[in-house]
Amino acid sequence: MMTYQETIDYIFSRMPSFQNVGTSGYKPGIESMIEMDNYFGHPHESYRTIHVGGTNGKGSVSHTLASILQSSGYKVGLFTSPHLRDFRERIRVNGEMVPESYVIDFVEKHRALIEKVTPSFFEVCVAMAFDYFRQEQVDVAVIEVGLGGRLDSTNLISPDLCVITNISMDHMNLLGDTEVKIAGEKAGIIKQGVPVVIGEAEGAVKQLFIDKAEEVNTPIYFADTQKSEFLGIEASYRQQFQLFQIGEELVRTPLMGIYQEKNMATALRTVEELKHLGYAITKESMRHGFEHTIDQTHLLGRWQRLKEVPYVVCDTGHNVGGIQYVVKQLKSIPCKQLRIVFGMVGDKDVSHVLELMPKEAVYYLTKAQSHRAMPEGKLRDLAAEKGLKGNTYPTVEEAYQAALKDADDADLIYVGGSTYLVAEII
């Protein structure tokens, strides 16, 4: 019998993940997933599902929906990716990670199948999640799309509802080099007669979603038609909350970051449609779910405060769509000196992201422990072309400690640019 660490090492070494190795870990098509699903007897048919796709915000929306459903008395499965610290973050029931013993048993029991089918790392994760949710007899599972939608391993499910948060330029080498092409892949989760909620879309992207919904004869709803307004931040000793007025509803969420206004509007519109589908969600349970998202689902890395003095915050935003909100928020916070601990993976649109970054900041350029991470020297050269100044550090920890050492109490330190970099700092 393998130990938990040996099991994880086996999964990662035999089936390299997209998270670690990039494109070579991506397996297009769902033939292997269908074969595995047949073997397991279609476990996802044992419970209701909600499918959440999009470029940015799908993690925040998925966790928020899971929290609201949990507050409403449902036993809730939650499947998300990537993980930050522990593989088991990907698979949760009522916020609790899948036990190490289950991961070990799953791989031991089905090792022959894994070696015969040679699925991708992500396909194994999906199969494990679906099987675990059936074993735990969940009422409903919130399933986050891994990459794209049309050819994603999760696209086997027959959900009650689909959600697409937004479209931004990301994974262009796999999904297409325009927002419309990317939207076409994301729209692949829209199914016959299954209502779909779109977080935000405009122009040709919005029309593509409308056309797709008409093609499969399903209702489509747009969350961004609701009037929303940021009301301020509420701070307590333990936690901060953002307050939004969205339509008639006051939403209080512990998920910080100005971009959460869009995500909370999407979650709220989704809840309205779930209620129409017969889900027993009261106003009180909905409000409780919004407020207790972090307590109940343990979401990490979304404008997460790491230190009070100096003020240190991290965020997993890593593409143009995510970074533009991060920069807007950084510029809104008064400080003596903005210091940015920054690294990116090489297959992102690094040049366009660097164009958005504030030039007045002092940069601590580094790389995460991932094969996909851009070397800090190359990042420094690209940053210099965009007028950004700073030093390089071989590890995230060294960069972070240097920023702390240099910082005055009135400074602001931001850590980001890559999910892996945030994972290391957390």
DSSP strand pairing (220-222 vs 96-97) = unpaired
- Percent of all residues in the chain with a pLDDT value above 90, rounded to a whole number: 77
Cβ atoms < 10 Å from Cβ of 72: 22
Sign of the four-CA dihedral 384, 386, 387, 392: negative
CB 385 within 8 A of CB 340: no
Cis bond leading into 310, ω under 30°? yes
pLDDT in tens, 161-210: 999 999 876 545 555 558 888 899 999 999 999 999 999 999 999 999 99
174 burial level (CB within 10 Å; 0-12, 13-18, 19+): middle
Among 20-24, 197-201, 335-339, the range scoring the smallest mean pLDDT is 20-24
Cα 239 from Cα 267, distance rounded (Å): 21
Summary mean pLDDT of the chain: 92
CB 314 within 8 A of CB 256: no
- One-letter amino acid identity for 54? G
pLDDT in tens, 283-310: 999 999 999 999 999 999 989 999 999 9
| CA distances (Å), origin 46, targets 140, 141, 157, 355, 382 | 9, 10, 11, 48, 50
CB 34 within 8 A of CB 241: no
